[in-house]
Chains A and B, each alone.
Chain A
Amino acid sequence: MDKPPLVLDPNFSGASEDFPAVLRRKGLLQVAPEPTAAAGGHSFVPTESTTILAFKFSGGVLVAGDRRATAGNTVVYDRADKVLEIDRHSIMAIAGVPATAWEMARVLEHSFQYFRRTQLQEMSVDGKVRALSKLLRDNFGFVMQGVGVVVPIFATYDGNSKPEARLYFYDAMGAQFEVTDYAATGSGSPAVRGILYYENHWGRKKLQELGEDDAVAIALRALDTAAEADTSTGGVDRSGKIFPLIKIVSRDGITTLPEEKVGAVFKQSVA
């Protein structure tokens, strides 16, 4: 009598909900306060202490990140993974607060799978790019409070309409920018951007024409350069043999380059 004739059981309305909405309904995802001008009264200071880079080369997209994690001017960890696999063809590389970034990656990973399982089809690349954008936007309240800023790069391979590698970078508010050649974020990124711009315009080959070994060499040189001036970027630890993490997205999926391979290229072309 009190109920309207057509009620969707809230426990079973999964079809129209995305995964973050499911998590919020169950109280499993922290909701950021709405950003207000008066939030703490302090201005927004970006604190992405790291260096992440990605560029397209002949074998797909190469994504590389240093391994250092810092708190203020203390190095807390030298084997951090900032290049994260989200699904078989997508990588999210993160600069920013690790706690937020890793949680975001986890939500994203589950979102893509949840979509595929419930909707019985793979989420489109545009849908995936937008999903990350929404997570960043939802997080902006924390950013304005001075905690939880994340500035990611997203690399994926679009197998559907026109098979090609796609590369995006984001700002902390969730705006997404698709790039044709390269992207870099984090505190060491100005130096990296300079190198990639130089290589792409006046190098022996354009970045998109590089073979794998040359691409890896340029990535390592760029990170080493970034570490030269930026204390928050680990670069290459020559004594501890800690190398940057490098992953490649291609039509066949994601390959993580083994340390021996990165080490060999390093020895030959960088050291």
Chain B
Amino acid sequence: MIEEPYRWVEAIANRREYIETQLAQGSPIAAVGYRDGIVFVTLGRARQKIFEIYDRIAMGAIGHPGDIERLRMAAIELASTEGFTRSAADVSLRRLAHYSLSPVMKAAFEQVYGPPYLARLLFAEIGSSPKEDLFLRVDYDGSIAADGLTAQPRQRFAVLSGTRQSAELMEKFLQKEHVTDAPLADAVNTALDAWSVGKMAISENGVKELPQRDVIRKHRDEQLANAAIEAAALERDAKSAIRYRILPGEELPSSLQR
């Protein structure tokens, strides 16, 4: 069936289309830098979508739960064995993504007789200063988009969503609204708005342009009525080596008042 090259290209294209359809409904995730670290925010009904990978690395994911779980386990195992044999300082998100995850996901995607990973991953690694923070997105085909590896101007945020259009709109929103050294409550607030923008873009008659402020707010309040906020932070100056902290519900309402 795919002995000829163009058939293979065709098979890959079909597979891409299939995966995109599967991922299209994924609830967005926003990771934004704030004064004392990085915070991951999403809204959900059932599954946990934000995870701790290692002392300084967190992950958000959309896709099939089984695939997310396998990739999450692989990431934790790689980081843990590296941290054990060398030291926690030698665990690097850059290598984890480029050297370990990306090739595995690419191979699974391109071997058209085997199952691909139905998952899209968003990672952040907190450094000792904001300059050393790294945001990184690994897609189902192994492609990587990063903020922080090169000398280009930094945005200090990253998003993950079901569709490209939704993600682009969220980025556009954050480029406008994100303040690098905002306190945590403000950052959660902005991230929730970004989530709303992303969510509006993937709904049935999705918005194409940035909606007005009050429209975003109205949508957000409607969504909050029947879903829970999930948030976790990587704290730069945490006393312990483990920087990841789940933000409990009682810490969140203060940021919803604004």
Instruction: Report which A residues bind B (CB closer than 8 A).
Output: 9, 11-15, 19, 22-23, 26, 28, 88, 106-107, 110, 113-114, 116-118, 120
- Mask: chain B, 64-83; 1 = CB below 8 Å from A; 0 = not: 00000110111011001101
22 contacts between A and B (CB under 8 A): A9-B70, A12-B70, A12-B73, A12-B74, A14-B73, A14-B76, A19-B80, A19-B84, A22-B80, A22-B81, A28-B85, A88-B240, A106-B84, A107-B84, A110-B80, A110-B83, A113-B242, A117-B52, A117-B80, A118-B73, A118-B76, A120-B48
Closest Cβ–Cβ distance, residue A20 to chain B (whole Å): 10
Contacts of B242 in A (CB 8 A): 113
B53 at the interface (CB under 8 A from A): yes
Nearest B residue to A114, CB-CB:
B80
Contacts of A9 in B (CB 8 A): 70
Given the complex of chains A and B, what is the CA–CA distance between A48 and B70 in angstroms?
A: 43
Given the complex of chains A and B, what is the CA–CA distance between A43 and B211 in angstroms?
A: 80
Within 8 A of A (CB), among B53-111: 53-54, 69-70, 72-74, 76-77, 80-81, 83-85
**7 closest Cβ pairs, A-B complex:** A14-B73, A12-B70, A110-B84, A117-B76, A114-B80, A14-B77, A117-B52
Beyond A28-B85, A114-B80, 14 additional pairs, beta carbon < 8 A: A12-B70, A14-B73, A22-B77, A28-B81, A88-B240, A110-B83, A110-B84, A113-B80, A117-B51, A117-B76, A117-B80, A118-B72, A120-B48, A120-B51
- A interface, by DSSP: helix, strand, loop or mixed? helix
Contacts of A12 in B (CB 8 A): 70, 73-74
Given the complex of chains A and B, what is the CA–CA distance between A26 and B78 in angstroms?
A: 11
Nearest B residue to A12, CB-CB:
B70
Within 8 A of A (CB), among B166-200: none
Closest Cβ–Cβ distance, residue B44 to chain A (whole Å): 14
Nearest A residue to B73, CB-CB:
A14
Contacts of B77 in A (CB 8 A): 14, 22, 114
Contacts of B80 in A (CB 8 A): 19, 22, 110, 113-114, 117
Given the complex of chains A and B, what is the CA–CA distance between A13 and B73 in angstroms?
A: 8
Nearest A residue to B84, CB-CB:
A110
Given the complex of chains A and B, what is the CA–CA distance between A12 and B100 in angstroms?
A: 13
Given the complex of chains A and B, what is the CA–CA distance between A88 and B76 in angstroms?
A: 20
Closest Cβ–Cβ distance, residue A197 to chain B (whole Å): 36
Contacts of B53 in A (CB 8 A): 117
Given the complex of chains A and B, what is the CA–CA distance between A172 and B178 in angstroms?
A: 57
Given the complex of chains A and B, what is the CA–CA distance between A120 and B246 in angstroms?
A: 11
Q: Are A14 and B74 in contact (CB under 8 A)?
A: yes
Contact of A11 with B85 at beta-carbon distance under 8 Å, contacts A113-B242, A114-B80, A117-B52 already known? no
Contacts of A26 in B (CB 8 A): 81
Given the complex of chains A and B, what is the CA–CA distance between A117 and B84 in angstroms?
A: 15
**B54, B72, B77, B242 interface centre (most CB from chain A within 10 Å):** B77
Nearest B residue to A116, CB-CB:
B52
Contacts of B74 in A (CB 8 A): 11-12, 14
Given the complex of chains A and B, what is the CA–CA distance between A76 and B212 in angstroms?
A: 71
Contacts of B70 in A (CB 8 A): 9, 12
Contacts of B48 in A (CB 8 A): 120
Closest Cβ–Cβ distance, residue B96 to chain A (whole Å): 14
Given the complex of chains A and B, what is the CA–CA distance between A248 and B52 in angstroms?
A: 28
Given the complex of chains A and B, what is the CA–CA distance between A118 and B51 in angstroms?
A: 9
Contacts of B84 in A (CB 8 A): 19, 23, 28, 106-107, 110
**A14, A19, A88 interface centre (most CB from chain B within 10 Å):** A14
Contact of A23 with B76 at beta-carbon distance under 8 Å, contacts A12-B70, A88-B240, A113-B242 already known? no
Given the complex of chains A and B, what is the CA–CA distance between A88 and B241 in angstroms?
A: 10
**B48, B70, B84, B240 interface centre (most CB from chain A within 10 Å):** B84
Closest Cβ–Cβ distance, residue B162 to chain A (whole Å): 24
Q: Are A114 and B240 in contact (CB under 8 A)?
A: no
Closest Cβ–Cβ distance, residue A22 to chain B (whole Å): 6
Given the complex of chains A and B, what is the CA–CA distance between A107 and B85 in angstroms?
A: 10
Given the complex of chains A and B, what is the CA–CA distance between A13 and B240 in angstroms?
A: 29
Closest Cβ–Cβ distance, residue A117 to chain B (whole Å): 5
**A12, A19, A88, A107 interface centre (most CB from chain B within 10 Å):** A12
Given the complex of chains A and B, what is the CA–CA distance between A28 and B84 in angstroms?
A: 9
Contacts of B54 in A (CB 8 A): 117
Closest Cβ–Cβ distance, residue A67 to chain B (whole Å): 24
Closest Cβ–Cβ distance, residue B28 to chain A (whole Å): 22
Q: Are A23 and B73 in contact (CB under 8 A)?
A: no
Closest Cβ–Cβ distance, residue B74 to chain A (whole Å): 6
Given the complex of chains A and B, what is the CA–CA distance between A15 and B81 in angstroms?
A: 15
Closest Cβ–Cβ distance, residue B203 to chain A (whole Å): 30
